[in-house]
Amino acid sequence: MSDTHVIRTERLTRYFGRRSVVRELNFTVPRGSVVGLLGLNGAGKTTTIRMLMGFLEPTRGTCQVLGHDSRTLSPETRARIGHTVEGHFLYPWMRVRDCERFGRETHPKWDVTFFEQSVRRFGIDCEAKVSWLSRGQRAGVSLASTLAGDPELLILDDPALGLDPVSRRALNETIIEFCESGERTVLLSSHLLDDVERVADRVALMVDGRMLVDSTLDDFRSRVTAWIVDSAEDPTIHHTIPGMVHCRPIGSRWHVTVADAGAETETAIDHLNAASVERVDVTFEDAVLAYLSRSRVGHSFYSGAAS
């Protein structure tokens, strides 16, 4: 594997029973980047991460992390990877001091000072039991444990889940600081789009086990366009719009999102039988949501309108 990529998957596929959760996934993470891994629940993000970490065997295909097959990661390679699991799991019976000890004895490059400073920054007592800590404090201990091992690759699975705004900001700042040198890489799985927009320089978007977007944030933003179409009925029912990602109703109007809109798309939009058509700016969040909404049937819990 090229040294420029710390993660590479080739035709990575994983089935649970008869259902493929991840299918033919080709995906790379360049060294020194912060990649936001986005997708709905069940899109295959956690399964992909578990295969990357070697916790789950791929049904077929391969995945490599830091140049090594994930199925046979040695302790030395694992020492170069920092990982937080979904929900910041820690053993509830341990004290914070025990977490530090457990981490120290299972990581060769453990930085005690870093851990203690980080924990102190979160205002956590080292003698406190994990079960007494708030979710934010637990995230702090979990991140401190992950970073104290001095990893060169950080794989974070939904680290901001349930965190308060202050803890989320602290998490984001930690990730930014971690990558300052440009040599360290982060794969960040999250549902919080503004956090990803703030810290990531690349976005990877999974829908139903497939990777539909794998690009820089700027490239992604620039290649997604949207129009507001004033029409009584869904304008896309009788007209095909090349590159259309999603069309959703907003009151009596329709918001049409398109990827890589070209001349053909412009022509198709012009030919829509609509009272008015207006091009609008697309935010990162709009663009991501357009992709994510493709696999959801309804737009609101009240209206069952199909997409």
Partner 1 sequence: MKALIWKELRENGRWLPLGWVIVTFACLMSLPSRQYVEAGLSSRLTLGLALLGPLMAFSLGVLQTFRDTQAAAGGYLQHRCVTEQQVFWSKMIAAMVVYLTAIVLPLVLFACWIEMHGLEKYPMRPIEVLPALACSLLAFSLYPATLMMMTRSASWWGTRWFPMVFAVSITGVFSLASDHYAMKMSFVVGFIAIAVVSWLSLTALSFWHGHGERTHRWLQVGYLSVCSVIIVTFGVHLVWGIVGETEPSPDQVYNQFEIETKTRKPWLLMLQFYEDEKTHKQKRRVLGGAPIDGSPVIDPTTPISGEKEFTEYGFNYMFTSELNVYPNYGFINAATEFERSQLQYFYDDRGYLLGYQAKPKVRWVQTIAADGVYKGGELAGKPFTRRPIDGFRSFREAGYPIPLIDSNGVYLVDDDSGSIRTLIEGPIDGQIVTDPKDGSTPRMFILSQGTLSEYRFLNASGSEDWFEAPPEGVRFEKLQSLAVHGLVAEIVQSVQVPDSLLNRRHFGVATTDTGIAVLEDEWSRRFCQLSSDKPAELIEFSLASGTEIPRGYYHFNLKTALCGLIPAAMLAAMRAWNLVDSNSGFSAGYWLQGVWLNDFQTTVLFSVFAVACLVAVLLTLVIAWKYELNRRTTMGWVTSVLALGLAAPLAMIATYDRPRRELCSACSKARRIDAATCEHCGAEWQVPMSEGIEIVDRAA
Distance CA 255, CA 13 (A): 34
The verdict on 127 binding partner 1 (CB under 8 A) reads no
Is the distance from CB of 14 to CB of 20 less than 8 angstroms? yes
Single out the segment in contact with partner 1 by CB under 8 A; choices: 37-45, 48-56, 122-130, 180-188: 48-56
* Binders in 93-112 for partner 1, by CB under 8 A: 93-94, 98, 101-103, 105-108
Per-residue binder mask for partner 1 (CB under 8 A), 176-215, x = binder: --------------------------x-------xxxxxx
Residue of 147, 193, 224, 229 that binds partner 1 (CB under 8 A): 224
Closer by beta carbon to partner 1, 77 or else 230 = 77
Cβ distance to partner 1 smaller for residue 229 or 244: 244
Contact status, residue 66 vs residue 3, Cβ threshold 8 Å = no
Question: With binding defined as CB under 8 A, does residue 129 bind partner 1?
Answer: no
Quote the least distance from Cβ 275 to partner 1, whole Å: 27
Is residue 169 part of the contact set for partner 1 (CB under 8 A)?
no
Contact region for partner 1 (CB under 8 A) — 119-127, 172-180, 182-190, 217-225?
A: 217-225
- Closest CB to partner 1 among 90 and 124? 90
Could you tell me the two tokens for 279? Answer: 């091009």
Does position 68 bind partner 1 by CB under 8 A?
A: no
Q: Is 242 a residue that touches partner 1 (CB under 8 A)?
A: yes
Give contact residues for partner 1 (rule: CB under 8 A). Answer: 11, 13, 15, 17-18, 20, 23-24, 27-28, 30, 46, 50, 53-55, 57, 59-61, 75-76, 78-79, 81, 83, 85-87, 89-91, 93-94, 98, 101-103, 105-108, 157, 202, 210-216, 219-220, 223-224, 242-245, 259-260, 291
